[in-house]
């Protein structure tokens, strides 16, 4: 396992090794309002604008700024491994900035 700077890379590796033939990503924004040096530890000053819940990293929580470049390396590796085995990863995130995987319309899934 390689974490690839995001828990999503770990999840994709687990799905691959479990034999999942199609993965559909939902909620991978690949975009953070908090900017700065990748992997730099910062302390949250209040509500978290980067996650689905404002208290995800509540006030006073230490966390690392994202490394989107390394994340994309992991995503590209995952895409290649899935494709080599006739499997696919699709991205149904609404408004996400990730461009590594083919997009699918979220509402078309239901």
Cα distance between residue 38 and residue 101, in whole Å:
23
Residue 86 backbone class (left: φ over 0; alpha: ψ -120 to 50; beta: rest): left
User: What is the mean predicted confidence (pLDDT) over 85-96?
Assistant: 96
Question: Would you say residue 76 has pLDDT above 90?
Answer: yes
Q: CA-based Rg of the chain, rounded to a whole angstrom?
A: 15
Residue 1 in domain: no
The count of domains in the chain is 1
Condensed to tens digits (0 to 9), the pLDDT of residues 15-59 reads: 999 999 999 999 999 988 888 999 999 999 888 888 878 888 888
pTM: 0.88
Structural domain that includes position 53: 7-109
- Determine contact, residues 28/100, Cβ cutoff 8 Å: no
The answer to the question of residue 2 being in a domain is: no
Asked if the structure places residue 11 within a domain, the reply is yes
């Amino acid at each position: 396992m390689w974490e690839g700077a995001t828990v999503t890379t770990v999840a994709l590796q687990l799905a691959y090794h479990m034999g999942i033939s199609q993965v559909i990503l939902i909620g991978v924004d690949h975009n953070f309002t908090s900017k700065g040096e990748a992997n730099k530890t910062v302390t949250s000053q209040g509500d978290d604008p980067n996650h689905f819940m404002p208290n995800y990293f509540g006030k006073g929580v230490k966390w690392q700024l994202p490394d989107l470049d390394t994340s994309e390396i992991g995503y590209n590796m995952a895409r290649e491994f899935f494709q080599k085995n006739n499997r696919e990863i699709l991205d149904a995130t609404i408004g996400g900035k990730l461009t590594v995987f083919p997009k699918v319309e979220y509402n078309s899934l239901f």
